[in-house]
Amino acid sequence: MAHLARSIFILWLLTMLPFFGNVLSRSSEISVAIQNLLEDQDDLTVHCKSRDDDIRVQYLKSHEHFLFHFRPNIFGTTLFYCSFAWEDGVCRRFDIYEYDRDKTYTDITWQIFKEGPCRFIENNGHDDNTTRKKADGYAFFDNICFQWTMAHLARSIFILWLLTMLPFFGNVLSRSSEISVAIQNLLKDQDDLTVHCKSRDYNIRVQYLKSHEHFLFHSRPNIFGTTLFYCSFAWEDGVCRRFDIYEYDRDKTYTDITWQIFKEGPCRFIENNGHDDNTTRKKADGYAFFDNICFQWSHDSC
Average pLDDT over residues 151-155: 58
Q: Where are the beta strands (DSSP E) in 134-272?
A: 144-145, 179-185, 193-198, 207-209, 214-219, 228-235, 239-247, 256-261, 266-270
Closest to 233 in 3D by CA, of 250, 257, 254, 215: 215
Say yes or no: 106 and 192 in one domain.
Answer: no
Q: Which of 79-88, 124-133, 151-160, 259-268 has the lowest mean pLDDT?
A: 124-133
Between CA 147 and CA 137 the distance in angstroms is 7
Read off the pLDDT of residues 235-287 as tens digits, 9 standing for 90 and up.
988 899 999 999 999 999 899 999 999 999 999 988 654 444 444 333 334 43
Quick check: 181 and 152 in contact, CB under 8 A?
A: no
Work out whether the CA dihedral 257, 242, 262, 186 comes out positive or negative: negative
Domain of 184, in residue numbers: 179-271+289-301
Q: Which helix (H) or strand (E) holds 293?
A: strand 293-294
Say yes or no: 118 and 189 in one domain.
Answer: no
240 found inside a domain: yes
Read off the pLDDT of residues 111-135 as tens digits, 9 standing for 90 and up.
999 999 999 886 544 444 444 333 3
86 found inside a domain: yes
Q: Where are the beta strands (DSSP E) in 99-238?
A: 107-112, 117-121, 144-145, 179-185, 193-198, 207-209, 214-219, 228-235
167 found inside a domain: no
**pLDDT confidence bin for 2, thresholds 50/70/90:** low
Counted domains in the chain: 2
Between CA 255 and CA 235 the distance in angstroms is 28
Q: SS3 of 128, please? A: helix
This prediction has a pTM of: 0.42
Whichever domain contains 207, its CATH number is: 2.60.40
Say yes or no: 183 and 297 in one domain.
Answer: yes
